[in-house]
Structure formats: structure tokens, C-alpha cells
Amino acid sequence: MNRVLLLILLGAIVLVFACGPDATPEVIAGDLEDIPYNPQPYAIVKPEHFPEVPIPASNPPTADGVQLGRRLFYDPMLSRDSTMSCASCHLPQASFTDNKKVSTGIDGIAGTRNAMSLLNIAYATNGLFWDGRVKDLEAQALIPVEDPIEMHHTWPQVIEQLKTHPSYPALFRKAFGINDRSDITKELAAKAIAQFERILISSGNSKFDRYEYQGDVDALDDEEIDGKLMFFDEAQGIGINLPDAQCFHCHGGITLTGNQYFNNGLDSAASVDDYKDPGRFFATGNPSDKGKFRAPTIRNIALTAPYMHDGRFNTLEEVLDHYGSTGNKYGPNVDPFMFQIGFPIPGTNPVQYAGLTKYQKQALVKFLHTLTDTTFINNPDIQSPF
């Protein structure tokens, strides 16, 4: 074989290996400009009786942005060993929780808090996480990737993977109009994930919604109605002898979360410094916020067990046993409503309350099940694209 032919053959072999599946694509300025960028606004679907979904001016949802965010949300490549995605702790069938006491990351290390539901998370405008330490979904989406207990990756490594991925550069171009793959950033990735999370809105087809907002008077039975009356403190106003269960003070509004932080008497504490988990204090630095946590949404609550920030209660019955007894744990900043559940006991001074009877707890649990929204969890638009 002559020398020229040998050099040609060697060159071909080098070219084949250079273009193999593991080769890193060369980053060329403007290499995505031939891909059309035609952003179409995404109209978030919500029930008529829900308020408008808060949308930041800096991140309006588009059809391509939402789909990119959906893919990133379900893609395990965001974790160091490609075994865990955002959806690992936020499963659609569990109303975007994981039904674990606390979540476990890629290294098998357990966290300290229960995974919160993402249902109607777009309306959480007063901080995210149990302690409210971040202000919006864009900021929240950046944290789990680099958390050593969760995905234990680094954003620079993730961005390099996205830049060299066969599909993602084009998807980022369509979503955000970038000119070349070098323009992919963690901020754009977080914006896309936030766009997807903002479409996680109730369908409005739960039994409660049909009864309360659609005029279906047969949607709830008598026991469920009793639970509703106690939940919202409506019984006395219509002459029915049922007590105030004090639920709506923390779980009010259309999404059934007050967007506020409370100490609900879970643990005894001689002073605020005795709480094992400082809760809201972590975000505010205000000592009076120690032991307070964000009230989660009660919609789809029957699907999201176990309950509380540390997952200590396995069932709704256990939750009601805590709230419905007169033996709430003492703490200097426990919310006063924790001690005002049930009928007032005549002759007590200061006034004490009787808690809830077995029937009253049972009616409340039945009502909470009427908040289950199977249309939402089965919506094909929020399932994994893979």
C-alpha cells in the first residue's frame, strides 16, 4: 500500500472516531441560527373560579419553554449519576410529592424534610420550601441540582452536558432564541423548569369544586358537608350545631393554602430556641419565626401522605388526632387557633375548647377526600415526555 493511500485511510479512521456518539460537538458561534425561533405564548389552563396565575414579566411562558421545562423536570441527567430527576421527589400520581417521610438523594442520604406538593405552586407568592427561603420558582429550581443531599451535581457540569446533548441545544433555541449552544445557562434551564411548574394547576373537577363552584348539590353527601362546614367555620352561621375546626385560618383561599407560616404545635418547647428545626427562622432570622412552617395546600391532600414538614403523621386520621385534641404541644409561639378547636367548654376561664369528637374527625377526613383531583394527576400534559 503506497504512502498516500495509507495516509488517506488513517485520516478516515480518525474522522470516524471523531464523529462517534461520544464526541463533543464543536461550539461554533451562531450554530443554532438556522433553527426557527417563533415563540408562541402558552395559555395556562385554570378553573374559572381560580384567580389569574401570577407570571413574572421576566419569564412569560411559551409553548416551547414549557415543553423544555417539562423535559428537564423529568430528566435524570440533572443529577450527578443520572439516576434522579426533579420528578423523583415530585411524582404526578402523588400530586407531585414522593409519599416518603423525607426524601433520599443519589448518595442514599436522607433529608430532613418532607417533599412538598407542587400543585398550584404558581400561586405560592410568599416564599417556597417549608421555610420560604427562596422567593420564586426560578430561584428554587437552581437549588436541588447542587444540593449534596439531593442531586449532588454541579451546574457547570450540567450545562456542559446540555451544550453537547443531541437535542437540548435546539430546544433551548426554540424556547429562548439563543444563537448558539454556548448561550445555554443554568438561569435559562431554571426558567424553563419554572415555566413547566406554573402549569401545575388544579382542574377544578374535584367533588368539592363541583359542589362549591359548579352548583352540583349532590356532589357531597351529608357527612362530607358536615366536614366542609367545620373546615370553613360555616355551621353556626346557618344554624347547624357543629364546631369550628379552625382549618381555614391556615389553609384558606382558593388553593387552600394561606401562603403563610405557622407553628402548629407539633413539638413542646420551653423557648423558641428549643425547636429542633428552626423552620421559617432559617429565611428571616427573626427568633419569633422559629418552629414555623409554610402551610401546604390541602388540595389533593389525600394523595400526599405522610404529613407535616418531617412526615411524622402517616394518615389524615393521625393529623386530625393531633389537631382535634386538647393536648397540643406547648410552645411560646404556637398559633392560638391550635387551642381553639371544637366547642368552648362552659365555665372555663380562660376559655378552653373541647376538641373534636370521633364523628367530627371522621366528617373532616371525608371532606378532605373530596378535594382529590384525579383529572389533574392524570393530565397528559404534565406527565413525563420520555
- Give residue for cell 418552629: 291
* Cell, residue 252: 384558606
Backbone angles phi, psi at 261, to 5 degrees: -120, 135
DSSP state of 298: -
Task: Say whether 78 sits in a helix, a strand or coil.
Answer: helix
User: How far, in Å, are 54, 74, 161, 166, 269 from residue 83 at the CA level?
Assistant: 33, 11, 15, 19, 40
**Judging by beta carbons within 10 Å of its beta carbon (0-12, 13-18, 19+), is residue 247 exposed, middle or buried?**
buried
DSSP for 309-348, please give it.
TT--B-SHHHHHHHHTSS-PPP-TT--GGGG--BSBPTT-
Name the nearest CA neighbour of 141 among 254, 46, 59.
Answer: 59
Alpha-carbon span 251 to 366, nearest angstrom: 17
**Going by C-beta distance under 8 Å and a sequence separation of 6 or more, which residues neighbour residue 164?**
24, 25, 181
DSSP state of 357: -
Alpha-carbon span 234 to 242, nearest angstrom: 9
Q: Which residues are catalytic?
A: 150
- Give residue for cell 420560604: 132
**Going by C-beta distance under 8 Å and a sequence separation of 6 or more, which residues neighbour residue 139?**
128, 190
Alpha-carbon span 282 to 204, nearest angstrom: 35
Name the nearest CA neighbour of 161 among 25, 292, 281.
Answer: 25
Query: Within the chain, where are the H helices?
Result: 3-18, 63-74, 137-140, 143-146, 155-163, 168-176, 186-197, 207-213, 222-231, 281-284, 316-323, 358-369, 374-377
Q: Can you name the residues that pair with 292 across neighbouring β-strands?
A: 279
